[in-house]
Chains A and B, each alone.
Chain A
Amino acid sequence: MGNSPKYLKKASLLFLLLALFLLYLWMMGGSALGAANPGGEGSSLPWWAWVLILLVMTFVMGIVAVLGGVGGGVIFVPIVSGFFPFHLDFVRCAGLLVALSGALSAGPGLLRAGMADLRLALPTALIASSASIVGALVGLALPTHIVQISLGLTILGIVVIMLLAKKSEYPVVKEIDGVARMLGIHGTYMDISTREDVEWKVHRTPIGLILFVAIGVMAGMFGLGAGWANVPVLNLLMGAPLKVSVATSKFLLSITDTSAAWIYINSGAMLPLIVVPSLIGIMLGSWVGVPILTRTKPTVIRYIVIGLLTFSGLRAFLKGLGI
């Protein structure tokens, strides 16, 4: 713990560098980015330079995502669509594949440990993955500037959720509802900190399932992972314990984002030069971020992430307006 200030300084420096680099990309506008706006002329930088910049940036994003407790997709899409020359179609597809890869990697461990619950995930995933297909189709059909403006507003909305939403370690659920009973959505796990078995059940399942329609549509339309919305619904509304909610949410993304990703892949939005460096960068960043996380103060980092999301949300919004 004695090393905390040292690591906090390093993490803060990392965020500062990321913010300065984004500012640089933004200010360079016409010359380095060349094609900051979709449909514009190509970049003056060679392709490999963009691949390298993307790799470095997504590596930093991977660290930031872990430290800030958010998914890679929610940081990736607004930053890359706002500050890189790639069209939003390719960014959304890459964003979905980034979120999908993170979920697929984490899924086995979370399922084996029993933290992600298959019975809780199955019905919610069915709703969200169906809705995400609709979201992806609508997102690809709408004019780009409309999606960009909506993305900016959604990111700013996520910032508000992050600032206001509270979490409940063990929500009180007096009685399991009929739908949850029929689907067998309940379980037991042993809390490592108290060494006690915790029985859990959920309520308000029908309302939760309806909300997963909206979550799925947004995930598909904007290419965002949906952890920011899954966790509050599972934890605060349905009453699943926080650990179960976070783990199940992560696992859920592996199903929700799969269906939306297929729509983008089949629509020609999968560009290997954008997708693969992004996946590698975010994965490497996540691996580096986990050990740093144990030595930093998450609250401080979380506020910096909120600042970063506000900045990129505003950028996405202004870009959509052509500013």
Chain B
Amino acid sequence: MSPLKASEAQLFYAKVLNRLTLFSFATLIVFFLIYILGIISPHVPLNQVSQLWTQSSHNYMQAAGIQPGWAWVGHLGYGDMIIYIPIALLAGVTIVCYIGVIPKFLKSQEYILVVIAVLEILVLSAAASGFLKGGGH
């Protein structure tokens, strides 16, 4: 029995977070093995990566012919591009948890928390959208 008192929403958030995180990590390790063992050819050859990782991300993308944002979705036939799937899952776990917890807050009539959760989803979605990106120096 837990000595501390967690709300129903908190317990639900924990359950979703745990499942999605474990799945993301497992996928990450499997896909990374596929990548470095060369089971699927990468878009950028491995020995070329070590020549480019001294460059800024902007220069790296230009030299490697990679587009920013979600362009990787169109190149999932390459070993290095499939790693984006578990990374996007890891970075997307929190958004899913927030969406899942809103009905719990509605049920407990905690409307201010509903508003905060909706705003957080909007912030994280804006960050994930690909419209906000930097670099170029």
A-side residues, CB < 8 A to B, are 35, 37-43, 45-48, 50-51, 85-87, 89-90, 93, 97, 100-101, 104-105, 107-109, 111-115, 117-119, 122-123, 125-126, 129-130, 133, 136-144, 182-184, 187-190, 192, 254-255, 258-276, 279-280
Contact = CB atoms under 8 A, between A and B. Distances in A.
B134 interface: yes
Nearest to A258: B94
A144 B137 contact: yes
A95 B5 CA distance: 33
A182 B91 contact: no
Interface in B66-109: 66, 68-70, 80, 83-84, 87-88, 90-91, 93-95, 101
Contacts of B2: 112-114
Contact of B69 (A118, A266, A279): A266
Residues of B in contact with A, size category = 35 or more
Contacts, number: 231
Contacts of A46: 47, 50
A119 B59 CA distance: 42
B4 A190 contact: yes
B40 interface: no
A141 to B, nearest CB: 5
B52 to A, nearest CB: 8
Contacts of B124: 129, 255, 258-259, 262
B54 A39 contact: yes
Contacts of B25: 101, 105
